[in-house]
Structure 1
Amino acid sequence: MLRRVLPQAKALAEAIIQEGDAVVDATCGNGHDTKFLAGLVGAEGKVYSFDIQAEAIENARTLCSGHDNIEFILDSHGDVDRYTCDRALKAAMFNLGYLPKGDKSITTTPDSTILAIQKLFDRLVDGGRIIIVVYHGHPGGKVERDVLIEQLSQWPQKEAQVLKYQFINQKNDAPFLLCIEKNRHA
Structure 2
Amino acid sequence: MKITLEYIGEGDTVIDATAGNGHDTLLLAEAAGESGKVIAFDIQETAIEHTKALLQEHGMLDRVKLVKDSHEHLEKYLDKGSRPSAVIFNLGYLPTGDKSITTKADTTISSIVTASKLIKLGGIITLVLYSGHEEGKQEKERILDLLGQFSPREFHVAYTSMINQPNNPPEIVWITRKK
Query: Structure 2 length normalisation: TM-score?
Result: 0.95
Match of 1:180?
A: 175
Q: Which runs of 4+ in 1 moved over 6 A?
A: none
- Report how many residues are paired: 175
Query: Structure 1 length normalisation: TM-score?
Result: 0.92
Q: Deviations over 1:69-97 (max 9, x none)?
A: 10000000000011012311100111100
Question: Following TM superposition, by how much is the alpha carbon of 1:169 offset from its aligned partner in structure 2, in angstroms?
Answer: 1.9
Aligned counterpart for 1:25 among listed residues 2, 16, 37: 16
Check the 8 A contact 1:24/1:49 in 2, yes or no: yes
Q: How far apart are the structure 2 equivalents of 1:58 and 1:15? A: 28
Structure 2 gap segments, 5+ residues each:
none
Check the 8 A contact 1:24/1:92 in 2, yes or no: yes
Match of 1:3?
A: none
Q: Pairwise mapping of residues 117-132 of structure 1 onto structure 2 (< 5 A)?
A: 117-132=112-127
The code of the aligned residue for 2:25 comes to: T
Q: Deviations over 1:82-115 (max 9, x none)?
A: 1012311100111100001100000001111111
2:74 equivalent to 1:80: yes
Q: How far apart are the structure 2 equivalents of 1:171 and 1:160? A: 31
Structure 1 gap segments, 5+ residues each:
1-9
Q: How far apart are the structure 1 equivalents of 2:143 and 2:170? A: 14
| Larger displacement relative to structure 2 (163-172 or 54-63) | 163-172
2:162 equivalent to 1:167: yes
Give the share of equivalent positions with the same residue, in percent.
42
